[in-house]
Structure 1
């Protein structure tokens, strides 16, 4: 396909091309409008669509897989159908909407997100995946004539909190709708494609691991930058260039520089091996207490000098991103020309025209603006949305030269750079600091290299003590992460499925999920192992045979004997520990005791008994060997008799060597002989033990010369029996895990009156329209009318507890805005506790805990306070909220209030409407333009 260029093909070639165009007319018209030729994987995906098949396209970031999605849009418009283009995040929806409007015009394209509703009945609508899920459950008329759905970033179905939505959509879409899945390259694309084939019908899987822009890997040691890999060993067709798999080994110069730096660090007194959570040879390394990484300013200047800007530096900390920008600005760094600064100012003015003048200072507007004019920016979830959108626009336009970002930038937003810098190879995952996975590393570095602009991209890792270049090379060369389903039924899903399908068909639908598909695949492997074990059990039964008697019977006696001995030993040990504690608790100052084992053995005098409130004792003693210190019950075994008494001075300076020597001499002068360790009483007096020992000795196999060999085979056989019991339990559980979870959920919902059989009650219909992690808590509060008496600000405060989740570095304030909100939150908490109690009793995951940390701030805002006042209230309560977080949480509260408004009765419905109006103002009301 020539795209208008001069055609030098032969008549035969032109004939074949004409036949192709006749076979794929939609593709021909689509390609004719493109300014570039399709890559092979793009062409394959588009042909599959025109053949009437669904398609899953897995390709690296920046490879151009969205072209296949855009072809689905083209076909819908050409054929008079509809196409929905879904994305996981609002920012990506906004970006895709702008792209499609620029291509097809505003009249043909709509947008539906939680913030925006633009031309919602257009033939092409961009939306978040949750919006489409809600439309499917509501049987929206806008689903009529839907011919295709594009699911961009479809690998989001692995997301712990939101991934289930993707599977719900895939399972509920009408079979006539073509599905276009666009994914990062995952290592189990074939498995995912096989599932799509099973639940959606004909599906073509297109996997392309070739990066259109080669990526070169580097490490910076100090201020010097080295190639990560040595000389290429295979690049005959040029496709291996920039791919780690093509390289034989670590660059020798890098290996030497890293070794030298490690040696210098050790001489300075650092020890990377002793630092928490790292070791030499690790991926992450450790900066230690004496190591200073290269200054951020130096890194950027190094990249600038090498022509490697624009760059994205991933820091994994919001505060770190802001600090990096501040460091660069304070250094006087300026990366823009006068002409570029004028263009930057124009974009800023256009984007921020609606920002309230009074809020500019608290938003850090002037500092943000100055950094942008210098070509420097931060990008993270705590920023005001309009700030992030401005940074994205300027970066794509080439006006921002360096961005310091958290990993959220790597998720979907189209902001490629020439270079990506990783300051660390660890991140905080909500529970602790963990190493980046190979998939995460590839996702982050995949931003490097802009197609059509750069001939190559660059990834730079900053070296730190303990970081082994070979481990980093392993990250860079591994195939990406496997896609794992996070699908689990929720209360809302349960009532919607049961209402539409009934419990039996709902259960069958869950069994079609990717989660169950993967679970079943695991079941196959476990079931095969069970079969192999059964075969080995039979073989071991032959090997353990004895000509004198029954080995299995003898082995059973041996086990019974060992179990009885262990039981008696355990009981005796418990009695001895109890006696020790009792005797230690009775000791007084000056008592002489004996220590009967270890390096402290001998006589000792009690200097301080120290009995704690829980009854445990840690007596301070002085031994005849002049050692002074505290002992614990573990230093004794059994009784601790008092052997005598020694008069002690009122104050004993036991830290003084002279005092210790005098007391030790006085102790020995008492003439008390330290008793020897008493032998433990024989357990042979136990009648059952005596019988078992006699039975073992009397058994015929006991006298066999090959007894040990027989017992060895018997143990192996018993281990296989035990393993099979565990595997069989896992198989039974995995085969019906989702179905059983649904049954337990439905049981709880019936007990609380949301279902009568398979029929939704009035309460059930309310629950079916609440899309929230706290869906059942919300529905229960509405049914119990806990919030009906609240005013708008109080309602906003109470509802915030159901959506807000404090970051790890925030604390929940102890105060609440008003007595009314405090009372309502107390009642809500009591109801939540009731629900979680029943959930635990039924073996279900408990509903998320309430968090009051945003209540004061959102009350202030809903009550007409300024942004400065609202943030000050949050800070007073211990929650230092950035403006971007404040806006994000306000919008989530608005979203839940909107849902409640649609299902609540008066007066609560009106209060919800008033609360939304009070919240949706100022910076909270600003949406992407």
Structure 2
């Protein structure tokens, strides 16, 4: 057996779940392995490599990110030698003909669409971190690969622990054939949970009680609870004021200061809990933490270790231009690392980040302050994980950590083969409840939800490969549709139950042909019309209020009719937002703030005006007091009554006709009317609810295929598909035009817009640096809302961007008409930066040009965006119909790939 040969090469014995998965794989089954971080899932993937080599076939090992691909490539090269292992990422192509090739999942997806020769002889594919298919930005790629791989390829899917592994495995078996699901929830290294209050460390759970009865429910440690109650009571006493008011919010303790970061690290060091990763959900916070430690006397390395660190640093950064070291913050970064302290986040230069990863694994860096991106599969386990906060910014708002996020972060604690236990430490601060942390630490429900949706590039490749009918069939086999259909099952059952109940109620009303059923339906039409008119009235009132607020001018005196701020107010700042204007006002009661349309059931009207100083500082109490006095002295009086708007129902002819019909109906004077009305109301309410459910079922069933058909409609209109080939769902052929073949080779979030720009010649006549600048608008995303950058440093750039934005606007209008997701607007925030860089200007000038709100872009972000621009320029080079554009794209790639962008291009 090959498993015995493989196991004999390992330095450790296989765990039960590893053996079970490997045996299934050797028996010819596909496997889905779900296990905690650090449990050793990748051993199963490595056995797939062994099987492929033993049979003289090929194995592809896919990962979600380039850093993981590089890491796995290095590991496999060490085991099998350079001749047997290749690497394919967006930046690297090493030995692609090798029998074992490590690659990012996107590379494999592109190979499948192109029917690459490299797929010949493929017997196994490992999909590491397959739970990435839930990622809303890139998750669809995983499902595309799963659906497109040849049936004879054995798929090894490795996932973090998810609560719906059986559902996912059931879908895999449906689309891939025989698939065994192996779930292991036991951490190889036990994890102890703690809360650190000041410099005191408490166990989160009562471990003694748990040791006596392992099956007992987890209980929060009583000493921790008692200590927190005492601290909160003391805080209330300290903050008591003569007026009987308690300062502070939750816990009443605004004066609490958590221990400084150097103190926390020192405390962990005393207890033998280093190395540690402290998760801080902010890049700036990570950098500030390192700077804070450097200002202290904290040093975690010996002189010998510092010398070894220096050698590794030089190896990673020796190729960096000396002139750029200062602007990169190199010297501060180096000092921190030589003292055993470092940050880790996406804003760092890749060379810096990779040096930190290597040094941490070697135990030379002992305290890392990282954003949550470190938790996404990079091999950097620690003895301890520290969480400073339980809230993070999710891209839209500050939200509390989910149990899944908490488990993923703390899963880094405990190094297999090194530590006998791992530790998770939450730093306490007012507002954090021990029971809240206990809930996060003990919850084990992390369902995997598909993010798969048809897109332009995907759709054009699907119909090119298999035609419309088979494409729809493939979409209906996706995990997204599988989950949607399973959710529909419950809805359909509810609809069936409701239909039975409706039939019984109709019988009580004398049947659907009876007079009282007719009367009940007439009553429902009256109610429906009343609801419609009420909604219309609310909409009209809001629109009138919005228009009146946008018409106000600075210095207008108005009356706020309702709410806590009712009374006179003067407008300090106008707001011309046509949808939700919020002018800044000051009331006669000295309150300053913004008011909205919700506070104006009647339109706002200028009752008069008053002169205001050129600059009003409404934040200071004195300024507010003086202005309120001036407002009261104007003599303007708020109206005593504001009047009432006439209800639309009072003049609606349709409603009047329905009400007359209701009063004249024979059942209106029936002695049983009230009793039967109650039955009729129950019938009508249930009928409305059932119709809503029916609409939900209709919207969910075949929803992906309907989106696909809308995409085909738009592509047909724009000459990417031959119009004559478009037809009903049974149509088998779709002719792909030359434009369509170009779109099939463009892999970008703005794929169709890029294709449109090439088709219409919007980027013709640009030099290499100018083309790079314009192409950057397709990939760059400003970190601050509303920062779209300038219009470009040269006339040709401004002209090309203008045409690009026009094409985007036309495309967006078509997407609205076809009810499709909208292509994002081109972002001009990186235009000047990449133009300067491609022209050979210094790094510091490029970073400043790319800054958000006056702050220079980080070097890591700059390199990341440059590489994305390079990736898209490569696609433009291979797809543009104009030879001058292809040539400019090729030269632009060479111009950008220099200095920091060329170093450590992993």
- TM-score, normalization by structure 2: 0.86
Matched, 1:750 2:711: no
Q: Give the C-alpha shift of residue 338 in structure 1.
A: 1.7
Report what 1:209 is aligned to. 185
Q: 2:230 aligns with which of 260, 285, 288?
A: 260
Q: Give the C-alpha shift of residue 712 in structure 1.
A: 2.6
Matched, 1:498 2:475: no
Report what 1:181 is aligned to. 157
Tell me if structure 1 keeps the 8 A contact 2:602–2:645: no
Tell me if structure 2 keeps the 8 A contact 1:109–1:123: yes
612 and 848 in structure 1: CA distance in 2 versus 1, 3 angstrom threshold: closer
Report what 1:328 is aligned to. 293
Distance in 2, matches of 1:613 and 1:160, equals 35
Q: 2:443 aligns with which of 454, 478, 485?
A: 478
Q: Give the C-alpha shift of residue 433 in structure 1.
A: 0.5
Matched, 1:910 2:887: yes
Tell me if structure 1 keeps the 8 A contact 2:143–2:478: yes
Q: Which has the larger Rg?
A: 1
Residue 883 of structure 2: SS of its match in structure 1? coil
Report what 1:367 is aligned to. 332
341 and 567 in structure 1: CA distance in 2 versus 1, 3 angstrom threshold: closer
Greater shift after overlay, 383-392 or 299-308? 299-308
Greater shift after overlay, 319-328 or 457-466? 457-466
Q: 1:919 aligns with which of 883, 896, 906?
A: 896
Unaligned runs of 5+ in 1: 1-24, 281-285, 585-593, 623-629, 643-652, 668-673
Distance in 2, matches of 1:180 and 1:146, equals 13
Report what 1:393 is aligned to. 358
Q: Give the C-alpha shift of residue 306 in structure 1.
A: 1.1
Distance in 2, matches of 1:110 and 1:681, equals 74
Distance in 2, matches of 1:533 and 1:395, equals 61
Deviation per CA, 1:28-55: give whole Å up to 9, x if none: 1001111111111111110110010000
Deviation per CA, 1:510-541: give whole Å up to 9, x if none: 11111111111111111111111111212333
Distance in 2, matches of 1:777 and 1:580, equals 38
Deviation per CA, 1:265-320: give whole Å up to 9, x if none: 4455599xx99xx996xxxxx99864422211111111111111111011010000
Report what 1:780 is aligned to. 756
Deviation per CA, 1:166-186: give whole Å up to 9, x if none: 111111100000000000001
Report what 1:671 is aligned to. none
Map 1:31-430 onto structure 2 (within 5 A).
Answer: 31-231=7-207, 247-267=217-237, 290-430=255-395
Tell me if structure 2 keeps the 8 A contact 1:813–1:877: no
Residue 770 of structure 1: SS of its match in structure 2? coil
Residue 82 of structure 2: SS of its match in structure 1? coil
Tell me if structure 2 keeps the 8 A contact 1:115–1:927: no
Distance in 1, matches of 2:540 and 2:400, equals 46
Distance in 2, matches of 1:333 and 1:266, equals 34
Tell me if structure 2 keeps the 8 A contact 1:763–1:779: yes
305 and 744 in structure 1: CA distance in 2 versus 1, 3 angstrom threshold: same
Q: Give the C-alpha shift of residue 260 in structure 1.
A: 3.1
Map 1:828-839 onto structure 2 (within 5 A).
Answer: 828-839=804-815
Distance in 2, matches of 1:786 and 1:690, equals 59
Tell me if structure 2 keeps the 8 A contact 1:812–1:879: no
Matched, 1:728 2:706: no
- TM-score, normalization by structure 1: 0.83
Residue 399 of structure 1: SS of its match in structure 2? coil
Deviation per CA, 1:378-424: give whole Å up to 9, x if none: 00000000100000000001111110000000001010111111111
470 and 347 in structure 1: CA distance in 2 versus 1, 3 angstrom threshold: same
Unaligned runs of 5+ in 2: 550-558, 589-594, 608-625, 726-733
Distance in 2, matches of 1:422 and 1:598, equals 42
Q: Give the RMSD, CA atoms, in angstroms.
A: 4.4
Tell me if structure 2 keeps the 8 A contact 1:270–1:291: no
Distance in 2, matches of 1:453 and 1:524, equals 49
705 and 370 in structure 1: CA distance in 2 versus 1, 3 angstrom threshold: same
Distance in 1, matches of 2:868 and 2:678, equals 63
199 and 468 in structure 1: CA distance in 2 versus 1, 3 angstrom threshold: same
Residue 760 of structure 1: SS of its match in structure 2? coil
Q: Give the C-alpha shift of residue 258 in structure 1.
A: 2.4
Q: Give the C-alpha shift of residue 222 in structure 1.
A: 2.1
326 and 564 in structure 1: CA distance in 2 versus 1, 3 angstrom threshold: closer
Report what 1:10 is aligned to. none
Q: Give the C-alpha shift of residue 788 in structure 1.
A: 2.4
Q: Give the C-alpha shift of residue 556 in structure 1.
A: 3.2
Matched, 1:433 2:403: no
Q: Give the C-alpha shift of residue 607 in structure 1.
A: 12
Distance in 1, matches of 2:426 and 2:564, equals 51
Residue 414 of structure 2: SS of its match in structure 1? coil
Deviation per CA, 1:144-201: give whole Å up to 9, x if none: 1100000000000111111111111111100000000000001111111011000000
Distance in 2, matches of 1:600 and 1:831, equals 47
859 and 289 in structure 1: CA distance in 2 versus 1, 3 angstrom threshold: farther
Tell me if structure 2 keeps the 8 A contact 1:619–1:631: no
359 and 720 in structure 1: CA distance in 2 versus 1, 3 angstrom threshold: same
Matched, 1:844 2:814: no
Report what 2:731 is aligned to. none
Map 1:465-544 onto structure 2 (within 5 A).
Answer: 465-544=430-509
Tell me if structure 2 keeps the 8 A contact 1:81–1:123: yes
